[in-house]
Structure 1
Amino acid sequence: MGDWFADAAGSGSLLIAVPVALVAGLVSFFSPCVLPLLPGYLSYVTGVGVQDLDTAGRGRMLAGSVLFVLGFSVVFVLGGTLFGAIGQSLFQYRREISVVLGLVVIVLGLVFMGLVPVLQREVRIHAVPAVGVGIAPVLGFFFGLGWLPCIGPTLGVVLTLANQEGTAPRGAFLTFVYCLGLGVPFIVAALAFRRFMGAVGWARRHQRAISRAGGGMLVLVGVLLVTGVWDAVVTDLQSWAGGFGAVV
């Protein structure tokens, strides 16, 4: 395990992929299938009525939100592990795969920006019983599946980068970072519901601009993959990171 973390720390690809994955998770949180329905999600996973969320016990809110986040994280990390393993087996075709996946990421970015109406699709789970904390991980798992059509563009770029990592552990780690970006705000919202909902009012009013900015980031990553600039930057970062010795 220690050897893997040491290798990851010196990986040029992870040095630039991790921030992208984290931002992608945050953008997903502010997407139309997460942020507007946040009170409903919290009600489902805690068994507390929406009108009572701001007065519910912090322990219950924390447990429900954390278990919910763990549930959808399982879905996404399994996907990252799979894509990382596939990337390892197809390493000899790395350049060709970069071009193809880069083009896919560009399309996903345009979709997220709302510029490809034919591919715009939003799927929501409308009827879920408020059964509370005990079932929160299961709800998280199925909500993760239900979110795929909506957050697919941002998750897609993370899975693409997981494939570029070329190993299952790195792919899992990258999607775990994505889940942090998506899940930590969810937990914060659960612990300070009223304050958080007041703070995200600005984000809801500017959701279109956020989608455009997030989509622009995806398009940029796709262009870097297609042109080979991503690989060149990774190589330079690997050389830079390799110049530092371990500090004991």
Structure 2
Amino acid sequence: VDAKWEKILAAKPDIIKIGLLDAENYDKYAASGDTLSKGLSPEIAEYVVQKAHQAGLRVYAHIETAQDFRTGVKIGVDGFAHSPDYGWNGETATKPKDILTVKDMKLAAQKNVVVIPTLQRGIYSVTDYDSTGKGVLNKERFARTLERQKKLMNELNKNGVKIAFGLDNYGKTLLPEIMYFHDNQIFDDKTLLKIAVETTPQTIFPNRKIGRLREGYEASFLVLKGNPLEDFNQIKNIALRFKQGVFINVNAKFTIPRVLY
């Protein structure tokens, strides 16, 4: 870590991401030489967190299991990319036996840890694919995973854990994740809106005063054509956009400068 740290800082990162992938069994994987895609050992992960915090950087951990969550909280990560067992395939034989306790959640809340659940990504784990690559949702397995997702999300929320939206799919907006929560009635609409327009942007940009229409906050906001508390789909119906007080004209045409060599 020390040998590579200056190179890491030279890239001027906004955040450091680490991997905790069944970290409690890292020594077993290392003994067998199977550490590919296993992330970091808890000891190295903790050292990275310490180094990052000394440099004023936040650390988010990719996790797989409930124990990874506990390890992350213990070593002081600022947030989690994924919720425990986010990729469960819905098979009863593979249902995770270890789940987060109220104590785990309350400790995470006390430490102001953020969870980015990426629930919509779980669809891939409950989809059956044929030889041509065509996928069909397995409704029985999906129902099992959804039941588990609802229980976990509501318990996290009830115990004060901060939840933010993120989509584990590069090149897309957060809309699929937000609508997944809405369409599957994981949270009520008011809670969803608060997560989407307050918690999430404030999590991404902790040093900016955004996410609220309040004196002293940035005038960065959207104007919708309807009330999303009455019709949640109005979040897709954007009338106007403002960024730091400046109107954004999405229909404006930009000329790309021609470069001569």
Which has the bigger relative contact order, CA under 8 A and spacing at least 6?
1
TM (normalized to structure 1)? 0.24
1 or 2, which has the higher helix percentage? 1
1 or 2, which has the higher strand percentage? 2
State the structure with more CA Rg. 2
